[in-house]
Amino acid sequence: MAVDKHRAPRTTEKEFGGTLGAVCLPVLLPVTVLYLLSVCCSPSASLLQWPPPLPSPAQLWQPKALAIVLGWLGLQGVLYLLPVGKTAQGLVLRDGSRLQYPINGFHSLCISAVLLAVSVWAGLPLGYLSDILLPLAVCAGGLAFILSLLLYLKSLVAPPHALAPGGNTGNPLYDFFMGRELNPRIGTFDLKYFCELRPGLIGWVVINMGMLMKEVELRGSPSLSMLLVNGFQLLYVTDALWNEEAVLTTMDIAHDGFGFMLAFGDLAWVPFTYSLQAHFLLLHPHSLSTLTAAAITALNALGYFIFRQSNSQKNRFRRDPTDPRVSGLETIATATGKRLLVSGWWGFVRHPNYLGDLLMALAWSLPCGLSHPLPYFYVVYFCTLLVHREARDERQCQGKYGLAWGTYCQRVPYRILPYLY
Ligand code: NDP
């Protein structure tokens, strides 16, 4: 990849299967979402049933669903613009500038929760979400597609320094998929940053809550398994929004352009596939003993502890290496002037945060029991995503740090799972 701050960076290395991946994935990903939701609604919930359950057009499209998705995006957009919370600076860009970002995602979550609680109290049937999940997913996916097209068109008039290092091959299909512009904005409204943690992530817990309310409607009270899934995933989303500033240094914000991959992932994939466990439990209830529930809660707590501690340790170190909580850790120097941690969590494995995340993923599926593979889709998908993400990050770090990265890999030989991977 040629990087020159005075010219448009031309991407030469393609990821995600190159052009073939960029053509197939925009079809395959939406079909997967609809397939998973349809299987979940079928009586056997079997991934192997043949013929696969096919939804009728009436089950896929409802104007009410479009109104709900647009209303939700509008509400989150208004909350994004509220002058509450602090403002943070992003990383230094190619032209030397730094963008400003509102850190008010946690406020958005709290205000959304209050608005929903008041609406439910006033009679809003939140459980109705379970009846229209398919059309909601169709509308969210359709809007993600339209948004990606508009983003691609917008990128054609963006200045060269605004392009993402990974999405400027010149091949329209690939660039549409990967995202051509790094930080597309309308005025100060940052479209990628807005989509990354708000409508989809908060939407995910609202869908979960809808499943819980429907369960109460049908069975009189929420099951222990439904409460665990809701509680664990609410903790995860609250944590992400509480630590919103950390997203500014992630690959998604700092490296990837905003195209179909992130738009569909943020707006459709996350809310509709990550809520699969709650959806499954509504239609295929599973009761848990107190002991099993305690063991699953302990697993989630362990995962969360590793995830939070390791992410905080790195963020603290990157923000201020002299912070007394990290200044005693062993590090190695790199030619860029930045140092790499080789003790503490980042001396245990090279991605301790992924390990914690995977333990939590397992804890979110276990409340659904072991009778069906469907609720474990998230675990399998997430393992694949993190192994692939780890390889991408490894390549980028190898490029950034060269020999020093090689030394780090020798000192910390395991990527995610000690002694295994
Ligand atoms: P990471 O937080 O793992 O960051 C990787 C970066 O950290 C590297 O590029 C490097 O950047 C820095 N780094 C790596 N090793 C060291 C070291 N030894 N010392 C200091 N810095 C180091 O990136 P992700 O964005 O992949 O993950 C963030 C979190 O989000 C994770 O917990 C992940 O599990 C989660 N996640 C969740 C998803 C979901 O769908 N639920 C999807 C994706 C991620 P540099 O040196 O430039 O600072």
Express each pLDDT in 210-221 by its tens digit.
999 999 999 999
- Dihedral pair phi/psi, residue 19, rounded to 5°: -65, -40
Mean pLDDT along residues 130-147: 97
**CA 128/CA 118 separation, integer angstroms:** 16
With contact defined as beta carbons under 8 Å apart, do 302 and 390 qualify?
Answer: no
- Dihedral pair phi/psi, residue 222, rounded to 5°: -75, 145
354 Cβ closer than 6 Å to some ligand 1 atom:
yes
Q: What pLDDT is attached to residue 251?
A: 85
With contact defined as beta carbons under 8 Å apart, do 87 and 103 qualify?
Answer: yes
With contact defined as beta carbons under 8 Å apart, do 400 and 335 qualify?
Answer: no
C-alpha of residue 251 to centroid of ligand 1, in Å: 8
**CA 386/CA 382 separation, integer angstroms:** 6
Confidence of residue 28 (pLDDT cuts 50, 70, 90): very high
Q: What is the residue type of 306?
A: I
pLDDT in tens, 349-398: 999 999 999 999 999 999 999 999 999 999 999 999 999 999 988 988 99
316 Cβ closer than 6 Å to some ligand 1 atom:
no
Q: What is the residue type of 119?
A: S
401 Cβ closer than 6 Å to some ligand 1 atom:
no
Q: What pLDDT is attached to residue 254?
A: 87
Does residue 133 carry a pLDDT above 90? yes
Specify the 3-state DSSP secondary structure of 65. Answer: helix
Does residue 7 carry a pLDDT above 80? no
Q: What is the residue type of 256?
A: D
With contact defined as beta carbons under 8 Å apart, do 315 and 246 qualify?
Answer: yes
Confidence of residue 6 (pLDDT cuts 50, 70, 90): very low
- For the chain, which residues make up each domain, given as ranges? 60-287, 289-421
The atom of ligand 1 lying closest to the CA of 270 is: 40
For residue 172 the two structure tokens come to 């329209």
**CA 400/CA 341 separation, integer angstroms:** 15
397 Cβ closer than 6 Å to some ligand 1 atom:
yes
For residue 342 the two structure tokens come to 């080789």
181 Cβ closer than 6 Å to some ligand 1 atom:
no
C-alpha of residue 382 to centroid of ligand 1, in Å: 15
415 Cβ closer than 6 Å to some ligand 1 atom:
no
Instruction: Give the residue with greater pLDDT, 259 vs 51.
Output: 259
Mean pLDDT along residues 227-256: 94
Q: Give percent of the chain with pLDDT exceeding 90.
A: 79
The residue whose CB lies within 8 Å of the most ligand 1 atoms, and thus the one to mutate among 205, 252, 387, 393, is 393
Q: What pLDDT is attached to residue 94?
A: 83
Q: What pLDDT is attached to residue 92?
A: 83
The residue whose CB lies within 8 Å of the most ligand 1 atoms, and thus the one to mutate among 316, 389, 400, 407, is 389
Report which protein residue has its CA nearest ligand 1's atom 1: 250
